Amino acid sequence: MKLLVLPGDGIGPEIVAAGMNVLNAINDARELGLKFEYDDVGLDSLEKHGTTLRPELFDKISGFDGVILGPQDNLSYPPPEEGGVNISARFRIGLDLFANARPARTRPGVAQGKEGLDLVIMRELTEGFYADRSMFMGPGELMPTPDLAISIRKVTTKGCARIARAAFELAMKRRKKVTAVHKANVLKVTDGLYLEQVREVAKEFPEVELDDVLIDAMTAYLVRDPSRFDVVLATNMYGDILSDLASELSGSLGLAGSTMASDSQCFAQAQHGSAPDIAGQDKANPTSLILSIAMLLDWLSEKRGRDDLHEAAKAINGAIDEALADPSTRTVDLGGKMGTKAFAGHVAGMVK
């Protein structure tokens, strides 16, 4: 089984190296048989090849069982015509990575965490308010006159139905509740279509409870009592915003894993950005990417029928819980004293 590793920009190389330290440790200890190949994306690729994402790299991804992708510093990229490809967006659209799973859970001993938080946000990735995903050709944002800007939102029955089905399937493995987030009182057509499809898919899962909440009310409910939520289903932008809120409520944005997947491909990707201001300083918390790698192993376990990968993912999660429960083995952002490398080394030693 082969995984492609793309370190990315900013703190990407550091947290990817940390994640690979843990993954190599458990790969060797449990004889998982995973093999890894590294390649360049982002600013390193731009410097070497004139583009942040080479077409030949994109084309070879189908030959891998999964991808570990570091953060990207999109704000530093030149325009697309000068080689500044939005890497995540290109992968999401080109590989149809429609399902973004973003768990948020309060970790034992992390005092910043909101009590009772244990949910997964299932976010649609290929349409919605993100204008670069709304058109077959050309941008989804227009400026007909200097004082007028228009953005187009795309919502399809297919897109809504398949992300809803992914949410209900996940809920069947958890506490059997789905909360659909929307603003159908204002966006009557687009969010109305989304809700219609969610309710239709819900008929396939009679054991799962479905409720729906307006996006603005959802932010308040998450802060007040996150324990009421299990799987939160959302279109692209709502899911992006809510997942940052939920992960911060868990104790830190750096504690939340994330995967983006199609029916046949999965990427592990930290939920946070590239943090160029602390790049190279051994300050970054690698927990998010380590947990994302564990999620990738779980996805591969289910798709390939490999129970050993599921057990490896459980071991990584357990090691993270144990490390974070002890203030002396936390990273600086959580009140500890460990740097990126030391924390990863500690967790790697535990999974062995």
Place of tokens 């090849």: 49
Assess contact for 184 and 192: CB atoms under 8 A. yes
Q: Which two tokens stand for residue 258?
A: 């994330």
Active site residue 326: no
Euclidean distance between CA atoms 232 and 149, whole angstroms:
31
Interior angle at CA 105, CA 102 and CA 106, nearest 5:
150
Active site residue 183: yes
> What does residue 87 show for φ and ψ, rounded to 5 degrees?
-65, -50
Q: Pick the catalytic residue from 28, 211, 216, 308.
A: 216
Active site residue 130: yes
Written as one string, the DSSP assignment of 149-182 is: EEE--B--HHHHHHHHHHHHHHHHHTTSEEEEEE
Q: Pick the catalytic residue from 244, 282, 321, 333.
A: 244
Q: Pick the catalytic residue from 183, 303, 314, 341.
A: 183
Euclidean distance between CA atoms 133 and 89, whole angstroms:
8
Residues 109-113: contacts with CB under 8 Å, at least 24 apart:
109/324, 109/325, 109/326, 109/327, 110/250, 110/251, 110/252, 110/255, 110/324, 110/325, 110/334, 111/251, 112/251, 112/252, 112/334, 113/249, 113/250, 113/251
Could you list the active site residues? 130, 183, 216, 240, 244
